[in-house]
Structure 1
Amino acid sequence: MKTLHWKKGLFSCTYKIYSGNEQIGSLCNRSFSKNSEAEMNGKKYTFRTKGFFKQSTEVYTESGELVGEIQYNSWMTKAQISLNSKYYYWKYNTMWNTKWIMEGEDQTQIKSCTNSFSGDIDTNTDNELAILSGLYVTNYYMQMTVAVMVAVFIPIFTSTMQ
């Protein structure tokens, strides 16, 4: 297995992915945007989320070819990812959602230990798209968690202010 690292600044929308000290990729996601741009080892992808209540994400190459789709579960703990007709299964490994694993039918295994601003990714594959998709799902669930918290706490906060 090889280990990659990612970092994200406090107010940054970009995850920077490193192998050792060399930046090899990035995932740029505007907060609450439906589109994200990703790049790794010179290969570029776009993640486009669609839907409102039952969301899914389509993955496109730089030339606009559809190469993948991500389906999320309702509890924000798992995802099924289809990339170039291969299936991968993403899930959190801890109650605190700080560790996740993505396993593929092709024996791909990607594990990550994360916090809000950095993380390590241990992988047995060089498949850039699989690695970027795993990181994308993590970011998607973090954004959804923030959105739920805002939706719950703003009405509580405003009602106590009156």
Structure 2
Amino acid sequence: MQKQFTWKKGVFSSLYKIYLNGEQIGSLKDKLFSQSITGILNGEEYVFQTKGFFKQETLIFDVAQSKVIGGIDYSAWMTRATITVNGKTIDWKYDNLWNTQWSIIDSEGVRIKYAGSSTSGKIESNVDESLLVLSGLFITNYYWQLTIAILVVVFVPLLARMF
């Protein structure tokens, strides 16, 4: 069953709103000064909790079951990630040079395609798995935030020297 979602996010907002046929059916929300993000889609709620400093990983909690059900490992070059849920491995990757298209795919044919910018986008999914749809948005958000943090660390000292 092919589904087409859209999502929107304000420029400085930490809230992704996820829509199906124009109706909001989910969200992905950052918590200020926290390494936890809560995702809700189709009534299913998950918490993504990132741990570590140099080699970070994310644990995925199913709120209804009150337990860890998986995790996310990131590549050093910020272009790939591996999602592991209940012993199943799913790959996440960027599909173009500008990082405006990305996808999730596994060996069983699960495929979720994303396209977007920092404020809006679309999701095409051939499966009805809320966790995977949310995970794809979460990983992209994680990499965007990491990129911004790196740019700040590099350019703020350079700008400070200029003035």
Shift of residue 74 of structure 1? 0.6
Specify every segment of 5 or more residues in structure 2 that has no aligned partner in the other structure, as ranges: none
Aligned to 1:126: 128
Deviation by residue 1:119-144 (Cα, 9 ceiling, x = unmatched): 00011010000110111000000000
Aligned to 1:58: 59
Shift of residue 30 of structure 1? 3.4
Instruction: Give yes or no for contact 1:32–1:143 (8 Å, CA) kept in 2.
Output: no
Aligned to 2:18: 17
2:71 maps to 1:69? yes
User: TM-score scaled by structure 1?
Assistant: 0.96
**Secondary structure, aligned partner of 2:76:** coil
Q: Which amino acid aligns with 1:102?
A: I
C-alpha distance in structure 2 between counterparts of 1:58 and 1:76, whole Å: 18
Specify every segment of 5 or more residues in structure 1 that has no aligned partner in the other structure, as ranges: none
Q: Say which of 138, 146, 157 aligns to 1:155.
A: 157
Instruction: Give yes or no for contact 1:34–1:48 (8 Å, CA) kept in 2.
Output: yes
Q: Which amino acid aligns with 1:76?
A: M
C-alpha distance in structure 1 between counterparts of 2:20 and 2:78, whole Å: 29
Count how many residue pairs are aligned between Structure 1 and Structure 2: 161
Aligned to 1:38: 39
C-alpha distance in structure 2 between counterparts of 1:33 and 1:113, whole Å: 27
Shift of residue 105 of structure 1? 2.5
2:104 maps to 1:111? no
Shift of residue 31 of structure 1? 5.6
**Secondary structure, aligned partner of 1:106:** coil
C-alpha distance in structure 1 between counterparts of 2:25 and 2:50, whole Å: 24
Shift of residue 97 of structure 1? 0.5
Deviation by residue 1:135-157 (Cα, 9 ceiling, x = unmatched): 10000000000001001100100
C-alpha distance in structure 2 between counterparts of 1:91 and 1:85, whole Å: 20
RMSD of aligned Cα (Å): 1.1
Instruction: Give yes or no for contact 1:86–1:106 (8 Å, CA) kept in 2.
Output: no
Aligned-pair identity in percent equals 45
